[in-house]
Chain A
Amino acid sequence: MQEVQGKLLNGLEASKLDQFVQDLKTKPDVAKAVNGPWRSRVEWQGGLKAKGYMRNHVASFDEPEGLGATDSAASAHEHILSAVGACMMTGFIFQATRKGIKIHNCEIALEGTFGNILNWAGLSDEDTPGYPEIKAKMYVKADATPETLEKIWNEAWKRSVVTQTVAREVKVTPSFEAL
């Protein structure tokens, strides 16, 4: 492993990552700003299509044709899988880069199976309509020992915002207004 200061490693400046962590540690206003709130606004696009607007970004959603939809984009629950994986990867790359580890390739394969789709359809109250389990497997090629990489991986998923959001019972506060 090599300490790299001021130079790009994995497409990142390790010194900037260190500075960011230092700011979180010493500047309460920075930590407060990063904590959120984070927001999304989801707009119906006709059929089962929707768009989620997040800051200056947009993500599209649709459903498979079996549901009478057009399958023009991934389903919302598939986005969850990607979000979990992307968040795990963010943590992994962030921490590996801070340790000066060069990453050659990194990939996470995720998979989930609904507890009971009949529940979603209102045909049953048994089980859960959601994923009772999400499997995530990381493949990585990097200049470090497998033991070092696995340790970083374990830290990454245990401290992943999205992973820990879906892994814990999140209080969802729905509200409603008909116009």
Chain B
Amino acid sequence: MDDSSLFPVTVVGSWPRPPWLIQALRKRQAGESSFKEFNTVADDAVLASVKQQEDAGVDIVSDGEQRRDNFYSFVVEKLDGIKLMTVAQLLDFVKDRASFEESLRALDVPAFAMKSPVAIGQVHARDSLALDELKFLKEHTDRQTKIPLPGPYMLTRSSWFPGLSDKAYPEIEDLGREVSGILRREVLALKDAGADFVQFDEPVLSQVVYGAEGAETFMCAALASRKDPTQELSYALELMNRTVQGISGIKLGVHVCRGNWSRREDVLLKGNYGPLLPYLTEMKVDQLVLEFATPRAGELEVFKEYGDEKEIGLGVVNPRSSEVESSDLIEKRVIDATKLFDPSKIYLNPDCGFGTFAERPVNDATTASAKLRSISTAAKRLRQGIPIAA
């Protein structure tokens, strides 16, 4: 077969920030510059990120999340009633500080480096979350565009913090209704503005299933107050479907991984998708953007009983390693995946972003580019007739 539309290459979202962007971000966070001033600097970083993606052969590009501190905390620039707080600041409000300490020890990170948006009042959209990102991106690329957004469960869970949020939102469900409304309006606005793909990031779902009690990973500082996994996953499903119900004309995806804050494999979560699939497959989205490139993601076979109704964003490279996967290895991974998934529904991407947290990127831009090039080389060869398993 020779079909150029097969195996589109894309990214999960983030790209390592250059040092001058980090400096500008620090000034912004210290209140020494305006968001507009910061964005002027970030424009150049976005252009560089897009060029590197294009040069590497990426078909659906993002803006590298260069304007964001991380994939969910950036909302504080766009929403009223939400404040970015560090775990160090939250320590005064945490009931079980000892479990937070355990997590910080396990992750070997300072509390001041972990930030979470926290609802401290009624949450209102002051501005669109990502419309500015999309408009700039579309002005500077002719490729298809992907806009990552924090998933409704992630944003709700991370933002509702007992002692800080409950005056405006007595229960987390109250905030969840607000958040899903904001995200729904955002998706509709992005669709009208011509976005091709909106990806909801819900990495915290793996924490719900595989994170040990007392060993939170601060993907979501408020997760300490979670209920049992089944309830949490049901709630995540409910929030997602409330957010996207009835929306068409734009590709919607949900991204789940097992953490992307460290290059140490032993501190990241592990476990197959089995417990998550009953919920992920019921989400009214087109694509599941999943990691598969490390053994921590478990065996593919758990997908067997769920068919191939949804597209798969197949994670084929580890964004956290220095070694660049060969295109041969990537081809093999794709061919293995075609045993379970319809080839026409497979997209190729890294397991996660290359710079999820601005100050703690998991790779450098040179390696990230090389990994993307390897993916696109594999994609080209696969399109030109590598036998696809039946």
A121 to B88, CA, bound (A): 35
**Chain B CB within 8 A of A105 CB:** yes
Nearest chain A CB to B372's CB is how many angstroms away?
Answer: 29
- Say whether, besides A107-B88, A109-B104, A109-B105, A139 and B110 are in contact (CB < 8 Å): yes
A109 to B104, CA, bound (A): 9
**Chain B CB within 8 A of A171 CB:** no
- Say whether, besides A104-B26, A107-B88, A139 and B105 are in contact (CB < 8 Å): no
**Chain B CB within 8 A of A141 CB:** yes
**Chain A CB within 8 A of B111 CB:** yes
Q: Is the interface of A mostly helix, strand, loop or mixed?
A: strand
Q: Residue-by-residue, is B98-120 near A (CB-CB < 8 Å gives 1, otherwise 0)?
A: 00000011000111110000000
Chain B neighbourhood of A111, CB < 8 A = 105
Q: Are B112 and A141 interface neighbours, CB within 8 A?
A: yes
From B26, B30, B110, contact of A107 by CB (8 A): B110
Chain A neighbourhood of B88, CB < 8 A = 105, 107
Q: Are B104 and A105 interface neighbours, CB within 8 A?
A: no
Chain B neighbourhood of A105, CB < 8 A = 86, 88, 110, 112-113
Chain A, residue nearest B359 (CB): A141
From A104, A106, A109, A139, contact of B30 by CB (8 A): A104
**Number of A-B residue pairs having CB atoms within 8 Å of each other in the complex:** 24
Segment 90-113 of A: residues with Cβ below 8 Å from B: 104-107, 109, 111
Chain B neighbourhood of A106, CB < 8 A = 112
The tally of residues in B whose CB lies under 8 Å from a CB in A reads 12
Chain A neighbourhood of B359, CB < 8 A = 141
Chain B, residue nearest A102 (CB): B30
Nearest chain B CB to A123's CB is how many angstroms away?
Answer: 27
Chain A, residue nearest B88 (CB): A107
Nearest chain B CB to A86's CB is how many angstroms away?
Answer: 15
A21 to B112, CA, bound (A): 30
Chain B neighbourhood of A109, CB < 8 A = 104-105, 110
A111 to B104, CA, bound (A): 12
Nearest chain B CB to A81's CB is how many angstroms away?
Answer: 11
Chain B, residue nearest A111 (CB): B105
Segment 106-149 of B: residues with Cβ below 8 Å from A: 109-113
- Say whether, besides A109-B104, A109-B105, A139 and B113 are in contact (CB < 8 Å): yes
Chain B neighbourhood of A107, CB < 8 A = 88, 110-112
Chain A neighbourhood of B104, CB < 8 A = 109
Chain A neighbourhood of B26, CB < 8 A = 104, 141
A108 to B219, CA, bound (A): 22
Nearest chain B CB to A88's CB is how many angstroms away?
Answer: 14
Chain A, residue nearest B29 (CB): A104
Q: Residue-by-residue, is A97-135 near B (CB-CB < 8 Å gives 1, otherwise 0)?
A: 000000011110101000000000000000000000000
Segment 296-336 of B: residues with Cβ below 8 Å from A: none
Segment 159-203 of B: residues with Cβ below 8 Å from A: none
Nearest chain B CB to A71's CB is how many angstroms away?
Answer: 10
Nearest chain B CB to A104's CB is how many angstroms away?
Answer: 7
Chain B neighbourhood of A104, CB < 8 A = 26, 30
A107 to B91, CA, bound (A): 13
Nearest chain A CB to B86's CB is how many angstroms away?
Answer: 8
A141 to B27, CA, bound (A): 13
A104 to B104, CA, bound (A): 19
Among B111, B112, B359, the most chain A Cβ lie within 10 Å of the Cβ of B112
A111 to B102, CA, bound (A): 11
A107 to B111, CA, bound (A): 8
A139 to B112, CA, bound (A): 9
A58 to B117, CA, bound (A): 34
Chain A neighbourhood of B113, CB < 8 A = 105, 139, 141
Segment 22-57 of B: residues with Cβ below 8 Å from A: 26, 30
A125 to B104, CA, bound (A): 35
Chain A neighbourhood of B109, CB < 8 A = 139
Among B30, B86, B104, B110, the most chain A Cβ lie within 10 Å of the Cβ of B110
Nearest chain A CB to B364's CB is how many angstroms away?
Answer: 17
Nearest chain A CB to B375's CB is how many angstroms away?
Answer: 33
A109 to B26, CA, bound (A): 23
Nearest chain A CB to B98's CB is how many angstroms away?
Answer: 10
A109 to B101, CA, bound (A): 9
A40 to B66, CA, bound (A): 52
- 12 A-B interface contacts by CB (under 8 A): A104-B26, A105-B86, A105-B113, A107-B110, A107-B111, A109-B104, A109-B105, A109-B110, A139-B109, A139-B113, A141-B113, A141-B359
Smallest CB-CB A-B distances: 5 pairs: A139-B110, A105-B112, A107-B110, A107-B112, A107-B111
**Known pairs A105-B86, A109-B110, A141-B359. 20 more at Cβ < 8 A?**
A104-B26, A104-B30, A105-B88, A105-B110, A105-B112, A106-B112, A107-B88, A107-B110, A107-B111, A107-B112, A109-B104, A109-B105, A111-B105, A139-B109, A139-B110, A139-B112, A139-B113, A141-B26, A141-B112, A141-B113
